[in-house]
A and B are shown apart, each in its own frame.
Chain A
Amino acid sequence: SAVISQKPSRDICQRGTSLTIQCQVDSQVTMMFWYRQQPGQSLTLIATANQGSEATYESGFVIDKFPISRPNLTFSTLTVSNMSPEDSSIYLCSVGPESDNSFGPGTRLLVL
């Protein structure tokens, strides 16, 4: 399985600001995904990060709010833009089946 790290592990942010979360994988992977895990809710897929092209967003998520970069096969970033308290959540990156659908440890975000 791939080893996935995320930065930061947690943060407290003010509303209206933006936070960029980094995801680093220890091997090259074709597919990377970003999920959100809100308290008491299921893990929800935000988007698929595509290397060399724009991310593919799921219903309810838009690029202006959650811009994603995927500059190479081991790294991706997710930005949470113009944050509001409703964005308080755990954000996780994941990789595809070639690496056992592993997840990173998550980034805990609290927006005040």
Chain B
Amino acid sequence: QKEVEQDPGPLSVPEGAIVSLNCTYSNSAFQYFMWYRQYSRKGPELLMYTYSSGNKEDGRFTAQVDKSSKYISLFIRDSQPSDSATYLCAMSSNTGFQKLVFGTGTRLLVSP
């Protein structure tokens, strides 16, 4: 069993839709949770990070962590075609986000 599971997609939505991206994990030691966005032929770009459980909002993006269920989510409101990318969740049990463990990524396609 992989430490971090993520549906590879693709997930296709129309412009303006609310998108929900999810990851599950098995290691209860994970304390830091991150979401990266990766455009084609580019390196991953850190979108958001959260520590332990709870929600964090940044503009159209909301990250949610439920440690009791070992489940994390990223919500994108009012999705735009420019949001089309692969979204990677990543987790770490170390202080300072060392040794990140990544999901395989979910490919999101937002059509105009």
A residues contacting B by CB (< 8 A) are 1, 4, 31, 40-45, 48, 58, 92, 96-97, 100-106, 108
Q: Which of B41, B43, B45, B102 contacts A42 (CB under 8 A)?
A: B102
Q: Does the CB pair A96–B97 fall under 8 Å?
A: yes
Size band of the B side of the interface? Answer: 20 to 34
When distances are taken between beta carbons in the complex, the residues of chain A under 8 Å from B4 are: 42
**Shortest Cβ distance from B34 into A: residue:** A101
* Chain A interface, >50% SS class: loop
Contacts A41-B104, A96-B98: A105 and B46 contacting too (C-beta < 8 A)? no
When distances are taken between beta carbons in the complex, the residues of chain A under 8 Å from B101 are: 42, 45
Q: Which of B43, B44, B102, B104 contacts A40 (CB under 8 A)?
A: B104
When distances are taken between beta carbons in the complex, the residues of chain A under 8 Å from B34 are: 101
| Cα–Cα distance between A94 and B76 once the two chains are bound (Å) | 25
Contacts A100-B46, A102-B46, A106-B43: A42 and B96 contacting too (C-beta < 8 A)? no
Q: Which of B8, B43, B103 contacts A105 (CB under 8 A)?
A: B43
17 other contacts beyond A1-B46, A42-B2, A97-B97, with CB at 8 A cut-off?
A31-B98, A40-B8, A41-B104, A42-B4, A42-B103, A42-B104, A43-B90, A45-B101, A58-B99, A92-B43, A92-B44, A97-B96, A101-B46, A102-B45, A103-B36, A105-B41, A106-B42
| Cα–Cα distance between A97 and B99 once the two chains are bound (Å) | 11
When distances are taken between beta carbons in the complex, the residues of chain A under 8 Å from B36 are: 103
CB B72 to nearest CB in A, in angstroms, measures: 15
When distances are taken between beta carbons in the complex, the residues of chain B under 8 Å from A48 are: 98-99
For window 56-112 of B, CB contacts with A under 8 Å fall at 88, 90, 96-105
Contacts A40-B104, A42-B104: A103 and B43 contacting too (C-beta < 8 A)? yes
